[in-house]
């Protein structure tokens, strides 16, 4: 069985590493010559719009999946005529448009910040009466890692913000003062079976995830899992989905979802019985899903722009290093460290050292 993947970065690489023990082989389509997934998969080098390459991928793969949500819709449509593609196209379409995404949340009874679609500076000015100050305006499409958005604190911010986004269709949302950012990694198989991992608390800096901490007894687990399951059912979803939420008091407000394995689920490689990567593959293959139980106390620290000396990381016998085979550059995710501990106190002590090594 051959799994094709659109994208050949670290997520594809970790999918492949998780899939060989299941007897799978892998082929990735990725424009970059130095794709880090190419160490462990066949590499079709070229553009996502190249029909000949897409046809080759469809021909060689039994199932195709993807590692990023900005996959061109045309590429997925082309592939879907020739081979099974998961997660389903509808999930990709919703995730690519912030307005559709938020409207979907609202339709499913998933709490969100107040939001309004805006297509002009006039509409933005009007919308502010409904969403209130402060607010965030975001382009409907093509945003990632904090790009394509601007904060609105006062009327004077409106015009510059609108201009900075390029005047494209946008969505403006109430800025809700939240206590923490959490995400839930959920999985649904072609058979309809669903499982959910323990809730993860995430810390971002400069729009990039730096730290995730998962715990088995999070008080918001049930609500988050319920929201994720509504999404999975509605989308007739197959694979791993990550739902990012803000917690404000007792409310969980949906921010966005990613129709793929997700950075905030990397801790599952060492901290859960079955990793998100293996469960994504089991889901698309229609295999029973693996146990998602947390093992002890666990956290993940991203390595952004630097790789500390492995001996300094591993001197803590409970650190687990995951390098992506990528050259460090500022702002580039080049690896992560998973921590396992027997108690919350032990985890806190380990985290302190590892965060220093990671330059956090």
Decide: 150 and 165 in contact? Cβ < 8 Å: yes
CA 198 to chain CA centroid, nearest Å = 15
**How many residues bind to its own copies according to rule CB under 8 A?**
36
Decide: 279 and 262 in contact? Cβ < 8 Å: no
Query: What's the token pair of residue 241?
Result: 């989905």
Decide: 331 and 304 in contact? Cβ < 8 Å: yes
Interactions with its own copies, residue window 320-339 (CB under 8 A):
320-323, 325, 335
Stretch that binds its own copies, among 174-182, 221-229, 246-254, 283-291 (CB under 8 A): 283-291
Residue 31 CB, shortest distance to its own copies, in Å, is 22
Query: Does 266 sit near its own copies (CB under 8 A)?
Result: no
Binding letters toward its own copies, positions 24-63, x by CB under 8 A: -x-------------xx-----------------------
Residue 293 CB, shortest distance to its own copies, in Å, is 8
Q: Which residue has the tokens 């460090």?
A: 328
Stretch that binds its own copies, among 61-69, 92-100, 157-165, 316-324 (CB under 8 A): 316-324
Nearer of residues 150 and 347 to its own copies, judged by Cβ? 347
Identify the bridge partners of residue 341 per DSSP, sorted by sequence position. 297
Decide: 235 and 197 in contact? Cβ < 8 Å: no
Sign of the Cα pseudo-torsion (220, 221, 222, 225, in order):
positive
Query: Does 286 sit near its own copies (CB under 8 A)?
Result: yes
Query: Does 317 sit near its own copies (CB under 8 A)?
Result: yes
Give the CB-side neighbour count of residue 264, counting CA atoms within 13 A. 28
Residue 25 CB, shortest distance to its own copies, in Å, is 6
Query: What's the token pair of residue 319?
Result: 């650190």
Interactions with its own copies, residue window 185-214 (CB under 8 A):
none
Eight-class DSSP state of 106 = H
Binding site for its own copies (CB under 8 A): 13, 17, 20-23, 25, 39-40, 270, 273-274, 282, 285-291, 295, 307, 310-311, 314-318, 320-323, 325, 335, 340
């Amino acid at each position: 069985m051959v799994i094709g993947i659109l994208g050949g970065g670290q997520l594809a690489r970790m999918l492949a590493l998780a899939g060989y023990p299941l007897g799978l082989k892998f082929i990735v389509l990725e424009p970059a010559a130095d794709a880090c997934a190419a160490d462990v998969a066949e590499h079709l080098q070229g553009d996502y719009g190249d029909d000949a390459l897409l046809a080759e991928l469809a021909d060689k793969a039994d199932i195709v999946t993807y590692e990023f949500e900005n996959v061109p819709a045309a590429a997925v449509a082309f592939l879907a005529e020739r081979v099974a593609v998961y997660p389903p196209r509808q999930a990709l379409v919703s995730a690519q448009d912030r307005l559709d995404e938020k409207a979907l949340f609202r339709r499913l009874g998933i709490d969100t910040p107040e939001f309004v679609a805006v297509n002009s500076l006039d509409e933005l000015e009007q919308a502010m009466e409904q969403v209130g100050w402060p607010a965030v305006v975001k382009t409907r499409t093509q945003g990632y890692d904090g790009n394509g958005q601007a904060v609105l604190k006062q009327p004077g911010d409106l015009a510059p913000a609108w201009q900075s986004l390029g005047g494209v269709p946008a969505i403006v949302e109430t800025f809700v003062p939240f206590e923490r950012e959490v995400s839930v990694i959920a999985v649904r198989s072609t058979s309809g079976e669903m499982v959910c991992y323990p809730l993860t608390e995430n810390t971002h800096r400069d729009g990039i995830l730096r730290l995730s901490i998962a715990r088995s007894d999070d008080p918001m687990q049930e609500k988050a899992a319920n929201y994720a399951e509504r999404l999975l059912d509605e989308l007739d979803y197959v694979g791993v989905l990550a739902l990012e939420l803000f917690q404000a008091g007792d409310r969980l407000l949906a921010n966005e979802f990613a129709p793929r394995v997700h950075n905030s689920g990397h801790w599952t490689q060492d901290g859960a019985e079955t990793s998100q990567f293996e469960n994504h593959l089991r889901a698309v293959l229609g295999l029973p899903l693996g146990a998602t139980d947390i093992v002890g106390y666990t956290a993940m620290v991203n390595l952004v722009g630097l790789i500390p000396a492995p001996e300094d990381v591993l001197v803590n016998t409970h650190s687990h290093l995951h390098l992506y085979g990528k050259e460090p550059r500022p702002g580039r995710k080049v690896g992560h460290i998973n921590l396992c501990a027997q108690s919350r106190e032990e985890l806190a002590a380990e985290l302190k050292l590892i965060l220093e090594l990671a330059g956090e």
